[in-house]
Amino acid sequence: MGIFSGIKDLLGQINRIDGAVYTSGRDFADVYARNIALEEEIAVRTKELEQANQTILTLNSVWDMMNSSQPLSSLLDKIVSILHDDMSYVYTAILKLNQEENGSEYFSIMSSSEDKLVNSIFSIINETAQTYKIPYVTNSIIEKSLHEGQICSTPDMKGVLNMFFPALNDEQLKDFVSQMITKSAIFVPLKRDKTNYGCVVITSTREITSDTELNFLSLFANQIELAITVAGLFEEVKNQAITDPLTGIYNRRYFEENIVKEAERALRLKQPFSLISMDLDYLKRINDTYGHQFGDLAIKTISNILKKEARSIDIPARIGGEEFNLLLPGVDSNGAYIAAERIRKSIESQVLDTIGTITASIGVATFLEHSDRIDELTELADQAMYKAKLNGRNQVQLAVGHESVNWQKLAVEAFTDILNQKRIPVDEKIAKEIIGKLHHIKVEEQSSKDILYSIVDMISQTYNQAYKTGTTKSKLFLAVMLAQRLEMSKEDIDKLKLAILLYDIGNVMIPEEIYNKKGPLNDHEKEIMRQHPIIAAREILQPITDIQDIIPIIEAHHENWDGKGYPNQKAGVEIPIMSQIVLLVDAFYAMTQDRPYRNAYTLDEALKNIKEDSGKKWNEKLVDEFIYIVKNGMMR
């Protein structure tokens, strides 16, 4: 009994121990399982935290870029890089929605990440990412995304490829899909100013897009939209600073900055560039006849033609009013002439509402061929354009290079020759005094001009005792102001200066009793007076070789706009504009100084007389500019 009782107690103890061990084992397994689950949850939360942190860093990066005022293209490139590199998407592109002239829509690729597969597709269809137009397909996933303003995704990669590249055949589509590691495409719509800007296209190795990922992409899209808006405004402000508001092409400031850069490059590489200078013909007539809105239409038409004809590296610019320039890097004079003629024909072929056809006068000059100085190049192009106008307009003229000759030097040589050769009857004592002054002139010094003016004053006073000292200087200043208002070239202004000094020298040959006669002249005396331009041009100045281009100006300086002047009864545009300026300036000073037969007119009386003869003696535009200068106190 005792043995069995002891065994029974022992078995009971063993059972209790087994029960405790079993219970402990079960509790241990539960703890272990809970630890495993906790570790998995910690891993998930850690990954979510890392993703959240990456999201914050990414969004901060975009924000920093947005505040840096970078160009829009740079911003978009960096955004694409962040999505591709930092967020581990396979391919990323930002597309912009555009509209053709006919109203049809398409997408252009503003920025994209590198992808061998996409590059292969572009190679097959013979396109580039920069020029390719992605069709806007109705009832497609991208249209749905834009229309609903929601992020959309699809695992149908073949359908996506077919939508983007309809030129690929079915076998090619299957082949490209088989090479892909992507499982889905995501479309994130973008807006700017509440209108559709485009979308972000993303390809992912995940077939399903998680809610966390959608939230991130939504936040990211908001930042991209803000970046596009800010960068777009920056671009608009920048463009406003460098473009002409009426035409949208570059303005004078941008052109002048870039022609300097182009000249530096041309000198460094020994490569020419050409400048086309053009002027719309008869703009004033268009404005006066049809109104300024049609003048603006004509100006816009020329600018549109320049944009269409220009290469991507060319710089078309509106310099002011009806004047345009086109910079052609790397183009010689032959190529520039061909381009200019093509532009001329294109302008002439346009038929505008109400106006009809318009034309332009065009000049061409080439750097390193016609000149290696920018100021001289632009002057030569302007001269060629002006020559095209004088020859009948609606034509192209090529510049002719020239060496710049100082107008003061020519004047000194001319007066020295005239006095030494005794071409005019001047008192010997006065002649020696003048020759002495001429010998001491140094043309590089500013004081030389005043000596020249005083010499002309002295010669004028030999036949006109009322001629006031200082008048020549005032005449020249007023003539130059008028020429500048008319935007004449530097070369023509220099010719005008020389003509102002020499035009009246023929009066020395007129008998004193006729020139200073107090009563009216008879017909014979009038004819003698009318001969002084011819005398000056053909007898006094003709033998002087270096001033031959001044002679036509002097010979025509008494021709009237209506053809009733002398000596050859030229009219209108037949009269050199410089001759008209000389006549107008001379008449003004004659009116405002005493004469043997009358007292000086007041300023208002002189201007009234000049205005009354507008369109008769003088070109109307010339008179308007002259009166503006005098009334605004711009003369000395």
Instruction: Tell me the DSSP string of 515-581.
Output: HT-SS---HHHHHHHHTHHHIIIIIIITT-GGGTTTHHHHHTTT--TTS--SSS---GGGS-HHHHH
Indicate the pairing of strand 323-329 with strand 273-280: antiparallel
Within a domain: 108:
yes
Same domain? For 366 and 458 the reply is: no
- Among 372, 398, 424, the domain-final residue is 398
pLDDT of residue 328: 96
Range from 293-307, 314-328, 548-562 carrying the lowest mean pLDDT: 548-562
**Contact status, residue 388 vs residue 363, Cβ threshold 8 Å:** yes
Range from 12-26, 249-263, 372-386 carrying the lowest mean pLDDT: 12-26
d(CA 274, CA 334) in angstroms, rounded, equals 10
- The better pLDDT of the pair 538, 492 is held by 492
Helix (H) or strand (E) holding 279: strand 273-280
Q: Taking residues 385-396, what's their average pLDDT?
A: 84
Residue 168 clears pLDDT 80, i.e. is over it: yes
What residue spans of 180-291 are helical by DSSP H? Answer: 211-242, 252-269, 283-290
Same domain? For 60 and 152 the reply is: no
Range of the domain at 114: 72-242
pLDDT of residue 17: 59
Indicate the pairing of strand 360-366 with strand 396-398: parallel
**Contact status, residue 176 vs residue 121, Cβ threshold 8 Å:** yes
Residue 330 clears pLDDT 70, i.e. is over it: yes
Same domain? For 154 and 118 the reply is: yes
Residue 548 clears pLDDT 70, i.e. is over it: yes
Which DSSP letter does residue 598 get?
A: B
Q: Residue 588 belongs to a domain with what CATH number?
A: 1.10.3210.10
How would residue 295 be classed by pLDDT, with cut points 50, 70 and 90?
A: very high
**Contact status, residue 140 vs residue 163, Cβ threshold 8 Å:** yes
Q: Taking residues 293-322, what's their average pLDDT?
A: 93
**Contact status, residue 343 vs residue 306, Cβ threshold 8 Å:** yes
Same domain? For 282 and 328 the reply is: yes
Within a domain: 636:
no
Q: Residue 222 belongs to a domain with what CATH number?
A: 3.30.450.40
For residue range 337-352, list pLDDT tens digits in order: 999 999 999 999 999 9
d(CA 217, CA 200) in angstroms, rounded, equals 10
For residue range 516-542, list pLDDT tens digits in order: 667 677 777 777 667 766 766 667 777
pLDDT of residue 445: 62
pLDDT of residue 140: 92
Structural domains in the chain (count): 4
Long-range contacts of 296-300 (CB under 8 A, 24+ apart): 296/246, 297/352, 297/353, 297/355, 298/322, 298/352, 298/355, 298/358, 299/246, 299/247, 300/246, 300/247
598: which strand partners?
595
- The better pLDDT of the pair 540, 316 is held by 316
pLDDT of residue 19: 60
**Which residue bears the tokens 């320039």?**
325
Same domain? For 609 and 538 the reply is: yes
State yes or no: cis peptide before 567, omega within 30 of 0: yes
pLDDT of residue 351: 92
Q: Taking residues 89-95, what's their average pLDDT?
A: 90
Q: Which amino acid is at 310?
A: A
pLDDT of residue 404: 45
- HSE toward the beta carbon, residue 397, CA cutoff 13 A: 23
Within a domain: 145:
yes
**Which residue bears the tokens 């020429």?**
483
Contacts of 110 (CB under 8 A, 6+ apart): 73, 76, 94, 95, 96, 198
Closest CA to 554 of 623, 482, 504: 504
Within a domain: 611:
yes
- Among 351, 377, 398, the domain-final residue is 398
d(CA 185, CA 178) in angstroms, rounded, equals 15
Which DSSP letter does residue 71 get?
A: -
For residue range 494-518, list pLDDT tens digits in order: 889 888 888 877 666 666 666 666 7
Structural tokens at position 596: 């043997």
Range from 364-378, 457-471, 583-597 carrying the lowest mean pLDDT: 457-471
Within a domain: 247:
no
- Among 189, 216, 242, the domain-final residue is 242
Same domain? For 229 and 328 the reply is: no
Closest CA to 584 of 601, 552, 604, 606: 606
Q: b/e per residue, 495-505, with b = 16+ CB within 10 A?
A: bbbbbbbbbbb
Residue 403 clears pLDDT 50, i.e. is over it: no
Contacts of 510 (CB under 8 A, 6+ apart): 463, 528, 529, 532
Residue 112 clears pLDDT 50, i.e. is over it: yes
Within a domain: 624:
yes
Q: b/e per residue, 282-320, with b = 16+ CB within 10 A?
A: bbeebbeebeeebbebbbbbbbbbbeebbeeebbbbbbe
**Contact status, residue 546 vs residue 413, Cβ threshold 8 Å:** yes
d(CA 228, CA 46) in angstroms, rounded, equals 33
Same domain? For 351 and 419 the reply is: no
Same domain? For 394 and 301 the reply is: yes
Same domain? For 300 and 361 the reply is: yes
Same domain? For 617 and 497 the reply is: yes
**Contact status, residue 109 vs residue 130, Cβ threshold 8 Å:** yes
> Rounded mean pLDDT of the chain?
82
Burial of 17 per CB tally in 10 Å (0-12, 13-18, 19+): exposed
Residue 297 clears pLDDT 70, i.e. is over it: yes
Work out whether the CA dihedral 289, 292, 294, 296 comes out positive or negative: positive
Within a domain: 142:
yes
Structural tokens at position 349: 């072929």
**Number of other residues whose CB lies within 10 A of the CB of residue 508:** 22
Q: Residue 265 belongs to a domain with what CATH number?
A: 3.30.70.270
Residue 69 clears pLDDT 70, i.e. is over it: no
Closest CA to 435 of 408, 448, 453, 417: 417
Residue 634 clears pLDDT 90, i.e. is over it: no
Burial of 154 per CB tally in 10 Å (0-12, 13-18, 19+): middle
Same domain? For 301 and 218 the reply is: no
In the chain, pLDDT over 90 holds for what percent of residues?
35
d(CA 377, CA 370) in angstroms, rounded, equals 7
Structural tokens at position 297: 């239409």
Same domain? For 422 and 452 the reply is: yes
pLDDT of residue 100: 84
522 Cα distance to chain centroid: 60
- The better pLDDT of the pair 313, 8 is held by 313
- The better pLDDT of the pair 452, 281 is held by 281
Work out whether the CA dihedral 518, 520, 524, 527 comes out positive or negative: positive
